[in-house]
């Protein structure tokens, strides 16, 4: 199997071109199964990672297809045609990094940038003179997941009276929100702050 996919002159040239274009090292001596495992482990941005995995699978399929054309239909497909097919088959969107752009341009792929995030401004409005404003935020990474909460107490002159940040361990988002509110009430009670 490895001879067909990796060791014949045709296959080795295709893999060398793929490696050169994507700027990765491909060791054909490790066998096709290990090349697939290696492809899964290489760290790229999400888009280039998908591009890389697609390239490996498409290259394997292309070599298999070409070998069948040669053996069963007595056809010869030039290497440049195989490479053109591989690059055409793996088109994808750009992930907006310079490395991605260079790789995609090197493959002569059309780049379609992702959308810019929506940016909006926020304004802090101070509370009335006898009141305090408390801003809290909670997060839970999963349901349940690692969770934390934090908050800040400010008076009408924008002076910070206190703040807190807690790592809560595993929990659901509604538990984390309740913990944040309970913490605010507890800190306000201890501080003698009744106008929240």
pLDDT tens-place string over residues 81-127:
888 888 777 764 444 566 666 766 776 666 555 566 677 777 778 88
pLDDT at residue number 12: 86
Nearest alpha carbon to residue 187 among 157, 156, 158, 165? 165
In the structure encoding, which two tokens stand for residue 125, read together?
């409005």
Segment 9-17 mean pLDDT? 87
What mean pLDDT is reported for the chain?
80
pLDDT in tens, 44-75: 777 677 777 878 888 888 888 888 888 888 88
139 in the same domain as 84: no
Residue 7 burial by Cβ neighbours in a 10 Å radius (0-12, 13-18, 19+): middle
142 in the same domain as 97: no
Domain tally, the chain: 2
Higher-pLDDT residue of 22 and 180 is 180
pLDDT at 177 exceeding the cut of 80: yes
| Residue 149: CB atoms within 10 Å | 24
Q: Which domain holds residue 19?
A: 2-106
């Amino acid at each position: 199997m490895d001879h067909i996919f990796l060791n014949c002159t045709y296959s080795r040239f295709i893999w060398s071109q793929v490696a050169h274009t994507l700027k990765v090292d491909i060791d054909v001596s490790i066998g096709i199964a290990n090349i697939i495992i290696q492809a899964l482990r290489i760290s790229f941005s999400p888009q280039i990672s998908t591009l890389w995995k697609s390239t490996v699978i498409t290259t394997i399929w292309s070599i298999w297809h070409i070998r069948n054309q040669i053996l069963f239909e007595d056809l010869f497909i030039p290497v440049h045609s195989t490479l053109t097919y591989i690059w055409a088959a793996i088109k994808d969107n750009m992930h907006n990094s310079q490395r991605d752009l260079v790789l995609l341009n090197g493959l002569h792929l059309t780049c379609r940038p992702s959308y810019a995030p929506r940016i909006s401004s926020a304004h802090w409005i101070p509370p009335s003179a006898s009141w305090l404003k408390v801003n809290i935020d909670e997060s839970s990474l999963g349901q349940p997941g690692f969770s934390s909460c934090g908050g800040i107490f400010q008076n009408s002159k924008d002076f910070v009276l206190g703040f807190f940040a807690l790592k809560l361990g595993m929990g659901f988002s509604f538990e984390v929100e309740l913990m944040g509110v309970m913490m605010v009430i507890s800190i306000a009670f201890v501080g003698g702050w009744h106008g929240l």
